[in-house]
Each structure stands twice: as C-alpha cells, then as structure tokens.
Amino acid sequence: MSEFTIRESDATELHRRRKNMYDTTDAYRRSFIDPATGLVEDRLTHYRPCPVCYAHAPRRMFEKNGGTYVKCGDCGMVYLNPVFKDDALVEYYKNNSSCQASAHESESDFYNSIYSRGLDVLSCFTEKGRLLDIGCSGGYFLDLAYQRGWKTAGVELNQAEVAIARERGHRIWDVPVEAIEFDVSFDAITMWDVFEHIKEGTEYLHTLRKILSPKGVVFLQIPNAWSLAARTLHERCNMFDGIEHVNLYTPDSITSLCEKNGFKILFLETVIDESNVLGKHFDYEDPYFGDRDGGRDLSFLSGDFIQKNKLGYKMQIILGI
C-alpha cells in the first residue's frame, strides 16, 4: 500500500476546521477540570498500571488539557494516568455535543480517501460480509462500506451522531459493545480512531473475539505514538488531547497487546506523514497554523522513508485470529 499524504495546501485549512470544531465544546471539557489544579477532578479519575504490561512504573511526560501523560518504564507504552473512571467516561461521550459527522461532511475528500484506503486493505484479507463499525459517528464510513457491498451495522454512544447514522438507514446500537447481545458474528470489525479511547485494551480484544467470525478480521486505525510528529512536537502535537486519548500505542506496544490476547498482526502500516506540520515547527512557526508552507527543507523525509520506518502519524492495522 502507498503512503497516504495530505497536500500541504490543504493541511492548514483542515487543521483550522478541526480546531473550530474542538473549540465549540471547550466549555464542556473544562467542566470536568478542577480550576484549582488545572487537572481533571479527582472524583472522576483513578490511577492504573500500564495497560499493556501492567507494570507500575510510570514516568511522567507532560500535562495537557487537564490530563497527565506518562510512559511505562518497562515497555514504553504511552497512556493517561490518572484516567476517567468507566462510568464517568461513558457519560462524557454520551453528553458531548461535539459531532464528528460535521467533520466528515466538511472534509469529505480527506475521509473518502482514507476510508477507501482502509476498505482496500480489508479486501486483501477477508471476503465481503457483515461489517460492524465501532464508533461509527454519523455513518459516513458505513455509507462507503455499504456501497462496496458490505452488510453494515454500527455502534455509537454520541446520541446526536446515532440519530444521523440511523437517518442514513444503518442499524446502530447506542450502548457499549460489551453490553450488546449480538445474534450474528461479523466478518470485519472496524474501529476508526477509536481504540485509543479504550481504557482496557485486553478486555476489549476479548469482546471482539467473541463476535468475530472464524475467518474474520479486525481493522484498527489509531494514532502512532512512535510517529515523527508526536516525538518531535510532544504536548504540542494534536495526538495528545488530555482526556479522550487514554492509550497511545507504538507499533511494538500494539503488537505486544494483540499477540498476548490471541490475535495475529496480518498488516501494519503507517499513514499521514505530517511533513507539512513538522516543516512549520522547524521553521519556528505554529506547526498547525503557521503562515509559511512547511516541509520545504524536509525533502529527505519522503513517504517511502516515513513508511519504511513506521513514522507516520497513524497506524492502520489488520488483526486475525
């Protein structure tokens, strides 16, 4: 598969639209933060061991938007600690008025490209059948999958987006997947930018195995904590949001987690090189909104180099049993 890139002329506008969408719910997110400490309120959180190796060896990295990111001293996993309690996290998502569906509409070229690439990857590993998209937002990806011949269904907690997806004609469950009693198994389970929101990856993978058909596969797109952008920008990187992105995997840590839980990595590539963002940063500009076109001094960071070294901003992964 070829490296997925964003044209530099489009990148700044894309990030600006996303910031505007994020800013509309800023007051909602701040309602969970203790103004005295600048951190998420203690009553809503708890401390935890590393979600991959379960070691109690966190090394503090930085704080952002009320959350503290740490790195496991044993396996290198990056995660939020403390983190929302389960019930608080579910309520946070259910009541959040942010609507990803609006981004899908305003950034349709971007999402058409990256979703189509994901469907192309899926087609290399399984036959078309039943597909469950977890965290399906307003059903934009389900639309594309249905057009390709998949029998589609979705899971979504955000009530505004549930309504949009159902209006599009998709079958949608609006409770956590572990609470659903499915009467069928699925040939493909997809999670687009969702697995990083899941606190207990081990338990979640066990749930997915139960509803996956014998020859079925799981598709994940997740941020890559090993990406050049994340390792360069640190807390300035959009990957670190402080509340929702509770687990940030590297290629090694996601492989370790999945193999411990009975899955095989059938495919793992990185996408979105972020050379424009890095170029602005190295030019002493705001990495996302700088006035100058970034990346002109980074020609050596080709898509091939990024791909070969798994340094892209996100990972696309296929898991099999």
Domain ranges in the chain? 8-31+100-320
Reduce the secondary structure of 46-75 to three states and give it as a string: ECCCCCCCCCCCEEEEEEECCEEEEEECCC
Rounded Cα–Cα distance for residues 125 and 102 (Å): 31
Confidence of residue 110 (pLDDT cuts 50, 70, 90): confident
Q: Encode pLDDT of 51-72 as tens digits.
A: 999 999 999 999 999 999 999 9
Whole-number Å distance between alpha carbons of 104 and 110: 8
Burial (CB count within 10 angstroms: exposed 0-12, middle 13-18, buried 19+), residue 284: exposed
Q: Is the pLDDT of residue 305 over 80?
A: yes
The CATH code that applies to domain 8-31+100-320 is 3.40.50.150
So what's the pLDDT on residue 89?
A: 85
Band of pLDDT at residue 294, cut at 50, 70 and 90:
low
pLDDT in tens, 124-137: 999 999 999 999 99
pLDDT single digits (tens) 177-226: 999 999 999 999 999 999 999 999 999 999 999 999 999 999 999 999 99
> What pLDDT was estimated at residue 106?
58
Q: Are strands 171-173 and 186-192 parallel, antiparallel or unpaired?
A: unpaired
State the pLDDT at residue 6.
45
pLDDT score recorded for residue 302? 74
Asked if 196 and 248 touch (Cβ cutoff 8 Å), the reply is: yes
CB-CB neighbours of 258 under 10 Å: 22
* 109 pLDDT tier (thresholds 50, 70, 90): confident
What number is the average pLDDT over the span 126-151? 97
The reported pLDDT for the residue numbered 28 is: 87
Which helix (DSSP H) or strand (DSSP E) does residue 214 occupy? strand 212-223
Q: 150 or 10: whose pLDDT is higher?
A: 150
Q: DSSP secondary-structure letter at 292?
A: S
pLDDT value for 42? 96
Write 108-114 long-range contacts (CB < 8 A, 24+): 109/10, 110/6, 110/10, 110/14, 111/140, 111/141, 112/144, 113/4, 114/4, 114/221, 114/271
pLDDT at 257 over 90: yes
* pLDDT category of residue 101 using cuts at 50, 70 and 90: low
Length of the chain (residues): 321
% of residues, the chain, pLDDT over 90: 72
Q: Supply the mean pLDDT for the chain.
A: 90
What is the tens place of the pLDDT at every residue in 66-100?
999 999 999 999 999 999 998 888 788 877 766 56
Nearest 5°: phi and psi at 242?
90, -15
